[in-house]
Amino acid sequence: MREIIEAIIEKYYRKEDEYYSRYYYDENDKEFKVDAELKEAFEKSGLQYSVTVEECYSSCGYDCDMLIVAWVENGKLETDNTLLECM
């Protein structure tokens, strides 16, 4: 599951500005949200999971959130955290 999570999160990396965003737009300008996409992947997997986005820091002109992912796989608790910047 970790590889699937990493592949999804990687789509939200803005290479030119070097940060992860909560949103991704395809070539047709359709909007996707990282948390919704991860939840969909977990629903298909049948694993127990939690996907949340928590506000981390906020100031005028710069905000960031924390994407927190936890799941149980093969009886073991797994986690992944990613800083999402909102500029």
Helices (DSSP H) in 1-87: which residue ranges?
2-10, 34-45
* pTM: predicted TM-score of the whole model, two decimal places: 0.88
- Asked if residues 25 and 16 have their Cβ atoms less than 8 Å apart, the reply is no
Copy the structure tokens of residue 24. 């991704």
**Rounded distance, CA 53 to CA 61, Å?**
19
pLDDT along the chain (87 residues), means of 10: 96 92 92 96 97 86 90 97 85
